[in-house]
Chain A
């Protein structure tokens, strides 16, 4: 089950990873081998089996609808790479 270089580049774009050329090459090879191994799950006919998304059969874990304090703004921005007023500063979107 090979994956093409173009597919790797497409997935990297979806994942917001600006991979270097050597990484694209290595990942094309490695992902091909890993996909080969994990594709084994396709061997099974599971049309009638429901999926499991969560190991406990929990239903509706409610929280009381009570207001409580959020983090102070100084804490929220404590780890921010760039701040402008009460906003996170980022480069222009285009």
Chain B
């Protein structure tokens, strides 16, 4: 705080205002965040490495360590990429640079973005700023911990089945998983390509919209990208008149949802009604019964293919062996941690001769039905709302030894990811002194609706999102 800049409270929009008015320089702002990192990163382990970037003209940003940064080590939280220094920027990193943003550093992640707590990082877990004995969520726990701990005004994460939304909920940030295809994945370490999306994390919905504006749009280097049908709007309104919100009865009935989370979620719905929205029940019968099994076939299958490139030939550490085959097999066994190995094995099995139709093929068909039932719900409703996470942040170690318990953390975030839909997590209250998030799901390209609703809720709720212990 020696600089007089309160990084715990400063929003990205506020920071941009300070720089534009000339109250502080980009370099002073960057230094203020590096000071905060020096103070608290030892406890939070949000960053794997920091950067003294003097090139930008605007405010700083944190990037998840799956995003390639030219000349700056990028490990995806894995030992198999230890020392890997990209020779080019990911498109999203280049767009941040072009917008004048300075790079604060690379944030921690579960290895290859596989996990819901950052405990699968080969470099040790990050901690939740609200209670460092608890996880920040995952896989993007590093970015979320940094934003809520005042170590970055905003950051980018990647989301395959909930890796932006779930940590945002657990740390009290706003996080957007955009519509599939709206943000380039070029230069981002691939996990499951039919699901991976890059998205912003910040303190406010407006900041998230602002960053989404910077990173979105077609990229010739990623042929899965498309043009946005509408420009990104910064939300301003306070009312929600005419908005129809559907709550899936199958999600509401889930026993896995903690009572405290349910209470805060229901209060947020009541508030939406006060602001003019109509809240009703919708039906997503397959999504919450079959979404998780469907995802845990498709994502590992695609991961097993994407992770085949880590063979010790072109980059990364190599285990020295007498034959090529032994070198590849030892390099992979020594380089990958337990979770990527589990998923590579599961995915290879699901794709192998004799099992493909029963597993991967069947899961792809379930995915079709999950997409269809979401589309049907959007015939009646403008958006779908659920809690983002069934629980608040859990203690480090609680689920680490039980893969299925860890997988269930993403029960509520997975179905819309399978359907390619945008989802925004917005803090909606505290339970046991820990943040609870509401997940707003929109139809394809409905980010502006999510921003409008999220912003109105955030304004009306007026929560203090600085962790109590740091105030």
Contact = CB atoms under 8 A, between A and B. Distances in A.
Pairing of A with B: yes
Interface stretch (B152-160, B242-250, B356-364, B389-397): B356-364
Contact of B369 (A20, A46, A88): A46
Given A12-B345, A17-B332, A91-B321, A79 B362 contact: no
Interface centre among A35, A55, A63, A71 (most CB of B within 10 A): A55
Contacts of B315: 79-81
Contacts of B321: 91
Nearest to A83: B314
Contact of B329 (A16, A40, A61): A16
B123 interface: no
A41 B290 contact: yes
Contacts of A39: 293
Contact of B368 (A34, A52, A56, A75): A52
B369 A38 contact: no
B223 A11 contact: no
Contact of B327 (A12, A20, A91, A94): A91
A67 to B, nearest CB: 14
A46 B290 CA distance: 13
A44 interface: yes
Given A34-B296, A40-B290, A46 B366 contact: yes
Interface in A6-28: 7-8, 11-12, 14-20, 23, 27
A2 interface: no
A11 B355 CA distance: 12
A58 B296 contact: no
A80 B330 CA distance: 17
Nearest to A61: B223
A8 B342 CA distance: 11
A78 interface: yes
Interface of A is mostly: loop
Interface string B222-233: 011010000000
Contact of B348 (A14, A82, A88): A14
Interface of B is mostly: helix
Q: How large is the interface on A (under 10, 10 to 19, 20 to 34, 35 or more residues)?
A: 35 or more
Contacts of B364: 51-53
Given A41-B363, A51-B365, A78-B87, A11 B345 contact: yes
Contacts of B348: 11, 14-15
Nearest to B329: A18
A18 B332 contact: yes
Nearest to A44: B366
Interface in B283-300: 286, 289-290, 292-294, 296-297
B79 interface: no
Interface centre among B308, B318, B419 (most CB of A within 10 A): B318
B28 to A, nearest CB: 34
B160 to A, nearest CB: 12
Contacts of A17: 329, 332-333, 336, 341, 344-345
A16 to B, nearest CB: 5
A42 B297 CA distance: 12
| Ranked 6 nearest A-B pairs via Cβ | A55-B420, A51-B364, A18-B329, A79-B315, A81-B318, A75-B87
Interface of A: 3, 7-8, 11-12, 14-20, 23, 27, 30-31, 33-35, 37-42, 44, 46, 49-56, 58, 61, 63, 71, 75-76, 78-82, 88, 90-94
